[in-house]
Structure 1
Amino acid sequence: MSDDGSDSDEFEVRTIEVGTQSLRVAIRRGPKGRPPLLLFNGIGARWELAKPFMRALKRTEAIIFDVPGVGGSPAPPRPYRPSTIARLAERLITQLGRRRVDVVGVSWGGGMAQQFAHQHYSMCRKLVLVATSPGAIMVPGSPGVLWKMATPRRYLDREYMRRVAPEIYGGGFRRAPELVDALASAMSGASHIGYAYQLLAMAGWTSLPWLWTLKQPTLILAGRDDPIVPLANGRLMARLIPSSRLEILDDGHLFMVTRPAETAAIVEKFLDE
């Protein structure tokens, strides 16, 4: 059932029951000639944060869902692991009648994307990792930035978000503070428990032991000015994933938000190869 009348020509937004979990799902309509693109969003972000990127796709159907506890997806009764989200995504894709997908993961969602590609490798054709890392074993950002990331306050207090966004996200947010309001609106849907579950999901998780086993062609996109996930993490993953390459954008952590058309063009070129 659709739950959003806006953008109805481009997007189908509805709630889908996947087992015992309700998921708010958005599908950006597109041609059916190749697998759809499954997106895993960043921490605390509703699907709307990815809307400009999804809208910029020219030749691709795209599917995204609010993680349990965020946006229109109610919190689950207990904490979960990345393997839980990967399994939930696999069941969703199967219910939607798709057999294979290309996968994009952004920041926190990059961990979910890696887990999905590893856990459901036969369903994942290509993998795109955006501003992300191998998890707990990574080159960390500055302690001050990580401390600000550990609390959902920036989603609840817009003035606080305006103050800290340039320091946290870098890149375009240093040059265009007006981007903050759009960001805050799209990241206001995480409950306290939902945000805590997202943090707990990544506690101790790392893909380093098995990155070398990933079979999918992989595109790694990283921002040169990323205070949260330093560029060294992209370089590390590019060395460990066999069929991978790294592209560096002259921007910060959220270049999918600040430069959606450019990012979409890079991703679609990779998917077309």
Structure 2
Amino acid sequence: MSKHLDGATVTMEQVGGRTLRVARWRLDQPSDHPPVLFFNGIGANIEAVAPLAEALDERPFIMFDMPGIGESPDPVVPYNPFTMSWTAMQLLNLLGVDQVDVMGISWGGGMAQHFAMQHPGRTRRVVLIATSAGMLMVPGRLQALTKMANPRRYTDPDFMMRNFETLYGEGLGKSEGKGGHMARLRSPSPRGYMYQVLAMIGWTSAPALRFLLKQDTLIMMGDNDAIVPLANGKILEALIPNSDLVVMKGGGHLFLLSHKDESVAAIRDFLDSPASEREIKLAAA
């Protein structure tokens, strides 16, 4: 077991014709909370967000490496948000999980939106972190986007360290958080990275959000995000009927690390808030 996955059970699972590396925290323990299903950012392995799973220690947590990412084998055929949402639903069936709170960061925020719309009965609440409505988004700074597209940020540690502030904002500064994040990353395979990029080409949730994403939704953005500017969070808030926007002041793309305590508190407050009238009606239906 990885030193960065304390308390997690990590296995290779056959899911929907794919082999996926799956991590789950506290899934076998009694809990008053539904599990969290987390979709990671592009090229990022489970370990990158393990600190969040460990911090939300009162609830079960499920995460998996996308095909060709982390330790999941390369994809044989391409995938898209529809097929991967179906695969995630098959994983929940395999694990015996009925309903989840769905979270996603950056690229994974698109997956979280799609999963919630495709499988509304399996989704209680949604948390969208540093993300957008897909192709119809306000682009980030050109300097950051060109470096973001370069897979060297995963294969070359010196490249990542030199360009860390350009990519992710200055929130981590020279703190141990930057080095700690780097130590958790594992290089994706070229095919895995390419297929993950291709999965979202042409995808947007914008036309469907108002009609299909009915769950209570928390949108979290940093106001210094060079990759997914704050304007995208405001667009999501305008399009998602039951949503609230929380802005991390001074937060870059990785405000989950630079503003960890604030982020965890905001997520916990949202997930633990009393059921809305809409949720009560759905539960009774």
Give yes or no for TM over 0.5.
yes
Distance 1:8 1:40, change over 3 A: closer
Q: Which residue of structure 2 aligns with residue 73 of structure 1? A: 72
Could you tell me which amino acid in structure 2 is paired with residue 95 of structure 1? L
State the alpha-carbon separation in 1 of the partners of residues 162 and 152 from structure 2: 12
Q: CA deviation at 1:262?
A: 2.6
Secondary structure of 2:62 counterpart: strand
State the alpha-carbon separation in 2 of the partners of residues 7 and 186 from structure 1: 7
State the alpha-carbon separation in 1 of the partners of residues 30 and 106 from structure 2: 27
State the alpha-carbon separation in 2 of the partners of residues 126 and 84 from structure 1: 21
For the pair 1:256 / 2:256, whether they are aligned, the reply is yes
Of the structure 1 ranges 219-228 and 252-261, higher mean CA displacement relative to structure 2 is found in 252-261
State the alpha-carbon separation in 2 of the partners of residues 49 and 130 from structure 1: 14
**Does the 8 Å contact 1:57/1:265 carry over to 2?**
no
Q: CA deviation at 1:6?
A: 4.7
Q: CA deviation at 1:188?
A: 2.1
Could you tell me which amino acid in structure 2 is paired with residue 204 of structure 1? G
Could you tell me which amino acid in structure 1 is paired with residue 19 of structure 2? S
CA deviation digits over 1:4-63, x for unaligned, max 9? 275787211111111321111111116422210000000111100111111111321111
Secondary structure of 1:71 counterpart: coil
For the pair 1:202 / 2:213, whether they are aligned, the reply is no
> Greater relative contact order: 1 or 2 (C-alpha under 8 angstroms, separation 6 or more)?
1
TM-score (norm 2): 0.90
Q: Which residue of structure 1 aligns with residue 182 of structure 2? A: 184
**Does the 8 Å contact 2:248/2:259 carry over to 1?**
no
State the alpha-carbon separation in 1 of the partners of residues 2 and 50 from structure 2: 15
List runs of 5+ in structure 1 lacking aligned partners: none
State the alpha-carbon separation in 1 of the partners of residues 30 and 242 from structure 2: 26
TM-score (norm 1): 0.94
For the pair 1:17 / 2:20, whether they are aligned, the reply is no
State the alpha-carbon separation in 1 of the partners of residues 57 and 74 from structure 2: 33
Distance 1:159 1:9, change over 3 A: closer
Could you tell me which amino acid in structure 2 is paired with residue 244 of structure 1? S
State the alpha-carbon separation in 2 of the partners of residues 17 and 42 from structure 1: 22
Could you tell me which amino acid in structure 1 is paired with residue 255 of structure 2? F
**Does the 8 Å contact 1:86/1:116 carry over to 2?**
yes
CA deviation digits over 1:239-267, x for unaligned, max 9? 11000000000211111122333312211
Hey, which bits of structure 1, 4+ residues long, moved more than 6 A?
Answer: none
Distance 1:44 1:7, change over 3 A: closer
State the alpha-carbon separation in 1 of the partners of residues 86 and 187 from structure 2: 23
Could you tell me which amino acid in structure 1 is paired with residue 105 of structure 2? V
Percent same amino acid at aligned positions?
46
State the alpha-carbon separation in 1 of the partners of residues 3 and 176 from structure 2: 23
